[in-house]
Amino acid sequence: MIYGYIRVSSDKQTVENQRYEISKFILGMNLSVDGWIEETISGTKNYDKRKLGKLLSQIKEHDIIVCSEISRLGRSLFMIMDILNICMIKGVKVWTSP
């Protein structure tokens, strides 16, 4: 499965730009997003308190998570590396749109 992950940190931001970038990237590879995860929450919140945590608990080997940029996963490098480690252990790829 291919999941599009969108996180905005305030009501002033919109998900449309991120959705567009992810969709364009995936369509360019003749693939499609099977499910979208959208949330409006600060990246400083631990991922297990976000929808991302639920996704990380249910992803399977060979799944793909696509986000517009790696910073959408978390605010700190430590948190991002922790999330990437979970994905690596589970055999899940994380892609970012160029």
- Reading the chain (98 residues) residue by residue, the pLDDT tens digits are 999 999 998 766 678 889 999 999 999 999 999 999 999 888 888 899 999 999 999 999 999 999 999 999 998 999 999 999 999 999 999 999 88
pLDDT given at position 12? 61
pLDDT given at position 10? 72
pLDDT given at position 6? 95
Buried b (16+ CB within 10 A) or exposed e, 32-59: ebeeebeeeeebebebeebebeebbeeb
Distance CA(90)–CA(62), nearest Å, equals 8
2-96: CATH topology is: Rossmann fold (3.40.50)
Distance CA(88)–CA(98), nearest Å, equals 21
pTM of the complete model: 0.91
Where do the structural domains in the chain lie, given as residue ranges?
2-96
